[in-house]
Amino acid sequence: MLANFYRRLNILSIDVALGAMSGALFFAKLLQVQVLLYGVVCLGLTVWIIYTVDHLLDASRIGKEASTARHRFHQQHFNSLVKGVLIAILINIVLTFFMREQVLLGGAFLSVGVVLYLLINRYLKILKELLISVLYTCGILMPSIAVTNFSWIEIPWIVVFQFILVAFLNLLVFSWYDWENDIRDGTTSFATKLGMKTTRTCILVLFACVVAGLFFSTLPSASLLLVVMALLQVLIFFNKKHLLHNDRFRIAGEAVFILPLFYLLF
C-alpha cells in the first residue's frame, strides 16, 4: 500500500516538488541563509505547477491513449489537474505578499524564463532536458542566493554546477528509459533525437563531470553528496531489467533528490 501511495505521489509530481524544497534547504545551509517557510512552500508549488503543466501539454498533444502511466493519468484527469494548477497559482500569489522583496524580485525574473520555456518547449528538441535542469537549479537556489551575504565570488559555483549536472543526468536517464514510449507517442526527448547510444555516452560523461567537480570544490562534503546522487542515477540507468516495470526507475530517480535533507543533519 505504501508503494502504491508513493507511486501516486510520483505520477502527480509531488515528490519532485518535495525534492525541490529539499534542494532549497540544502543551498540555504551552504549559503548560510535562514529561508522563510513561505519561500520554500512557494518554490514547491511553483515546481509542481511547472511539471504538471508540462505533463498536461504533453498529454494533450498525444492524439490517442498515452503509453506511459503518467501521461495517461494526466489525460484522464486533465480538467481536475487544470483546476489544481489554478488553485496552486492563487496560493502562490497570496504567499508572495509574505516573501522578502529580494526573493520576490528574483522569482519574478525566473518566472519569465519559465513562461518562455513553456511557450517554446515543443520546439526545443535536444535542449529541453538541459533547460529544465538549469531552471530547476535556479529555482531551488533563488530563495538563498537572493538574500545571502556571500559575494558572487564566495558562492560555491562548483556545487551549483554539479547540481545542474545531476538534474540533467536524471532527465537523460528518464529519456533513455522512455525512448520506446516517446517514439510510440510521438513526443520529443533527448534520446529520441540523438539516439540511445549518444544518450548512454552523455550519461556516463555527465557522471564523470560530477565526480571531477569533487576535486575542485571548496565544499567537499556537499560535492560528495552530489556524487552519491549522480552514482545512484547511474545505478538506476544500469538496472533497466529490474526498474522498468511500473516506472520504478522514475520513482527511484525522483527519490534521489530527497537526499540533500541528510546534509542538514551535519
**211 within 8 A of 151, measured Cβ to Cβ:** no
The percent of residues in the chain predicted with pLDDT above 70, rounded, is 96
Average pLDDT over residues 142-169: 93
Q: What is the pLDDT of residue 184?
A: 81
Average pLDDT over residues 143-148: 88
d(CA 57, CA 41): 24
Average pLDDT over residues 249-255: 89
Average pLDDT over residues 39-51: 88
**pLDDT higher than threshold 80 for residue 248:** yes
pLDDT confidence band for 199 (50 / 70 / 90): very high
What rounded mean pLDDT belongs to the chain? Answer: 87
Average pLDDT over residues 37-52: 88
Q: What is the pLDDT of residue 28?
A: 93
pLDDT, tens digit, 9 for 90 and up, residues 80-132: 999 999 999 999 889 888 887 888 777 777 778 777 777 776 666 667 888 88
For the chain, what are the domain ranges?
Answer: 2-263
Q: Which CATH class is domain 2-263?
A: mainly alpha
Q: What is the pLDDT of residue 122?
A: 67
Q: pTM to 2 decimals?
A: 0.88
For cell 489554478, name the residue: 86
